[in-house]
Structure 1
Amino acid sequence: MMTTNGTAMPGEHAPRIQQLDFIRGIAVLGIFLMNIVALGLPAAVIDNPVAMDPVSSADLWVWGLSQVFAEQKFIAMFGMLFGAGILLFAERAEARQLPPRALHFRRMGWLALFGLLHAWLLWYGDILFPYAVAGCLAWLWRAKPVASLIRWGVALYLIPALLLYLVHLSLPQMDPADLADLAAFWSPEAEQLAAEIAALQGGLAERIAYRHEFILSLQTSGMVFGTLWLVLGYMLLGMALFKLGVLSLQVPRTTYYKLLGWLLPGLALSAYGVYYQVEAEFSVLVSFAGPLWNYLGSLMTALGYIGILGLVALRMANAAWVQRVKAVGRMAFSAYIMQTLIGVILFQYIGLFGLLQRSHLILIVMLVWAVQLVFLPLYLQHYRQGPLEWVWRRLTYAGTRRVDTSV
């Protein structure tokens, strides 16, 4: 039975918003385009494609196209979907006469724990912990009007951009010893790369010993001076889009064409960032300015992608490939960890870390995409949700008067 506003009666399974699953599925698949580089190559190579020899023209093209079309774009989409999910979770908890605030913070607490385990035991590039921390803060804006959410979202999103610009301006005046340390990370010596490759091909203890300071910095200073603000900004903008009905196809078709208008300016800014770094021959002096251009263009591009996906959904909602992507989005948590596990097995346990180039990694991405698009829909024919989604929901609702895992 449904109420007059379309929500499920307490104790019943609430209907899913299919468009959220569709966008989330595209985001999770797209995120793997960038994550596989961090999973399979030394840290310096993530931002500096010429940090490790050999580098072919194909590798540079893959880097450049990934920067323009993928880097930060799918994380932005996922962050906006996460913000929308906070509002949807609260609405459904209230419809079931459950305490939304308590459940939300319990939900974020468990996600933070999952993120810590993911970062320390599997892979340092975890996004779950930052999302959990930002998700707790995002609750403060839950009841804000759309205009306020947009203003705050854009302002928070621009904080890391301002910090990147200030660091860029400071590089020529930096103490020579500090600049030398930055250059050593930006373009490490062969011995340093070999040590990283050996450590990451070793056992769990060796990997943690080598990465522990890096992981700790990402989860502390890295969040305070960057990640937290951009993720929170994405979430607030996602809340605004959800309240407007953009993410649930409740707006006119023209709205998606307007969003599509952000695509070319966003791509142009990212493309200029690529050109800027290539022209500077990937000098350490542009190590912050190049990514800044891409950062500024990423939100615009993500909005353009959401516009495209809205138009696709309006035209071909029942297409077979769309249904497969929705299945990935419905199992986003499990799909994300599955990608990490595949990467850990290939690069750390089989020993391929540091041995492949970007052009090779793209082939692995396509194979993993194919596996997830084939097998995740088959899994959902037998189960209502992914295994990690099930565990997360059971933990969230444990101890409440009604455990309903459909949210």
Structure 2
Amino acid sequence: MTDETAARAAPPGPAALPAARRSLAPDLARGFMLLVIATVHAHMFRLAMTGEGYALDGPPDVAVTAFMALFAENRGYPMFAALFGYGLAQIHLRRTAEGREWPWVRRLLRRRGRWLVAIGVAHTALLFFGDIISVYGLIALLFAGVLRFTDRRLLTHAFAWMAAGTLVYALVENVAFGAAQSGAQGGEATLLSDMAMRLMTLPFFWPLMIPVSVFPFMVGVWAARRRLLEEPERHRALLRRVALFGIGAAVLGGVPQALVDIEVWSVPPLGAAGIFWVHLLVGYAGGFGYAALIALIALRIGDRRGPVVTALAATGQRSMTCYLLQSVAWAVLIPPYMLGVAGSFTDAQAVGLGAAVWLATVVLADLMRRAGFKQGPAEWFLRRMTYGRPAPAPAEGGRAG
């Protein structure tokens, strides 16, 4: 029997943890950050679909656009990447504690990564050009080995990726986004042309997104080793510092980008790239700060979970399903061959639309919870493909007497 066959033949991991046994902080963080993702995407769709700047049609639009630059844009994906690293490190730690050898765990993680790539490519082809699932899958395939790094080596690599990745991304994004804006109205889009275009962008999208996601991924691995989100009571002082400094740095560092976005400050292309680079860097701090703040809130809540917290946690527990559901909404609402609402909305209305889409996914996630589904369909599929079919329970008559 080969090693791969042995890994597949080994008993699969235990079933998903019941909600009562899950740590609140990671689920609450994912549920909240899906709101950030939804509003950022909705805010950007008018820009992408019309090739024009932000609407800025009055004080509400100006205020919303500035708010998004300070508190939302480039703040959501670093937190999700950190949570992905946190979750992958948890799998490694649990399987190692069970006595599994590293080659077995590495194959498990890479199998999970391959299925994430498959899900992400299908997501891109069918629904959305900005897929992040495949990026995380590629990171699992390429960087599984960092789970065995020492803390010092891990953080050294993390900050090196932060410095190089953000600089390249800022320079390329500035050029690419300008070209996309100028060519946004170059032809009439169709369902098939959009699908082809989305797939054609993947070879360019992955090399940009992987480098800027490795840093928060590795920080998430480091945080998981200390159980920062599972045991926030032990790390209250650190979490307070991260929340205060991270969110504060994100707001202050986001001011130049906000001024550019609301057209108060006009800068040349190279200056715009530099401002965007700073925005990316402080975005990491903001994402980590949000995670720390939510961990402190979860600690304060404890077991006193009301309906709102329960629904948010249910959303975070089904974060991949809810993320995909957002894309279904965008596929119906945004393209000109569907409802085509992107070009007719103001900035404030677009953000409101994003919040409404997120709220609909929260309701659906809570309905799944109430119906007794421990996972969303996307989570169930990924787990089944990673671990295989659960072993059947032993027959009653087969037990030893």
Place the TM-score, normalised by the shorter chain, in its bin.
0.7 to 0.9
Unaligned runs of 5+ in 2: 1-11, 394-401
The equivalences for 1:3-402 within 5 A come to 11=14, 14=17, 15-39=21-45, 41-42=47-48, 51=53, 55-94=57-96, 99-163=104-168, 185-186=180-181, 188=182, 192-195=183-186, 198-199=188-189, 202=190, 204-209=191-196, 211-212=197-198, 215-217=199-201, 219-224=202-207, 226-250=208-232, 251-262=234-245, 263-276=247-260, 278-281=263-266, 283-317=268-302, 318-320=304-306, 321-348=308-335, 349-381=338-370, 382-398=372-388
> 1:273·1:294 contact (CA, 8 Å) conserved in 2?
yes
> 1:260·1:303 contact (CA, 8 Å) conserved in 2?
yes
Which consecutive segments of 4 or more residues in structure 1 shift more than 6 A?
Answer: 165-168, 399-403
Using the TM superposition, give the Cα deviation of residue 19 of structure 1 relative to its aligned residue in structure 2, in angstroms: 1.8
Cα distance change, pair 54–67 in 1 and its aligned pair in 2 (3 A): closer
TM-score when normalising by structure 1: 0.81
Using the TM superposition, give the Cα deviation of residue 328 of structure 1 relative to its aligned residue in structure 2, in angstroms: 0.7
Task: Output the amino acid matched with 1:292.
Answer: W
Unaligned runs of 5+ in 1: 1-8, 172-178
> 1:93·1:100 contact (CA, 8 Å) conserved in 2?
yes
Out of 20-29 and 88-97, give the one that drifted further. 88-97
The separation in 1 between residues aligned to 2:227 and 2:212, in whole angstroms, is: 23
Using the TM superposition, give the Cα deviation of residue 307 of structure 1 relative to its aligned residue in structure 2, in angstroms: 2.2
Using the TM superposition, give the Cα deviation of residue 184 of structure 1 relative to its aligned residue in structure 2, in angstroms: 5.2
Using the TM superposition, give the Cα deviation of residue 265 of structure 1 relative to its aligned residue in structure 2, in angstroms: 1.9
> 2:55·2:346 contact (CA, 8 Å) conserved in 1?
no
> 1:122·1:344 contact (CA, 8 Å) conserved in 2?
yes
Per-residue CA deviation, residues 50-90 of structure 1 (Å, 9 max, x unaligned), is 53767544333322211110111111111000001111122
The separation in 2 between residues aligned to 1:256 and 1:54, in whole angstroms, is: 37
SS of 1:245's partner is coil
> 1:82·1:235 contact (CA, 8 Å) conserved in 2?
yes
Using the TM superposition, give the Cα deviation of residue 183 of structure 1 relative to its aligned residue in structure 2, in angstroms: 5.3
Using the TM superposition, give the Cα deviation of residue 289 of structure 1 relative to its aligned residue in structure 2, in angstroms: 2.2
> 2:55·2:61 contact (CA, 8 Å) conserved in 1?
no
The separation in 2 between residues aligned to 1:293 and 1:10, in whole angstroms, is: 42
Q: Which residue does the alignment assign to 1:4?
A: none
The separation in 1 between residues aligned to 2:357 and 2:178, in whole angstroms, is: 34
The separation in 1 between residues aligned to 2:256 and 2:33, in whole angstroms, is: 24
> 2:56·2:62 contact (CA, 8 Å) conserved in 1?
no
TM-score when normalising by structure 2: 0.82
Per-residue CA deviation, residues 289-328 of structure 1 (Å, 9 max, x unaligned), is 2311211211111222122112211111333222221111
SS of 1:246's partner is coil
SS of 1:248's partner is coil
> 1:39·1:123 contact (CA, 8 Å) conserved in 2?
no
Using the TM superposition, give the Cα deviation of residue 130 of structure 1 relative to its aligned residue in structure 2, in angstroms: 1.1
Out of 132-141 and 156-165, give the one that drifted further. 156-165
SS of 1:272's partner is helix
Aligned residues: 368
Cα distance change, pair 207–56 in 1 and its aligned pair in 2 (3 A): farther
Per-residue CA deviation, residues 201-260 of structure 1 (Å, 9 max, x unaligned), is x3x213234x25xx534x223432x31111111110001111122121342321221112
> 1:59·1:358 contact (CA, 8 Å) conserved in 2?
yes
Using the TM superposition, give the Cα deviation of residue 329 of structure 1 relative to its aligned residue in structure 2, in angstroms: 0.6
The separation in 2 between residues aligned to 1:401 and 1:94, in whole angstroms, is: 21
- Structure 1 vs Structure 2: percent identity of aligned residues? 21
Cα distance change, pair 20–285 in 1 and its aligned pair in 2 (3 A): same
Using the TM superposition, give the Cα deviation of residue 137 of structure 1 relative to its aligned residue in structure 2, in angstroms: 2.3
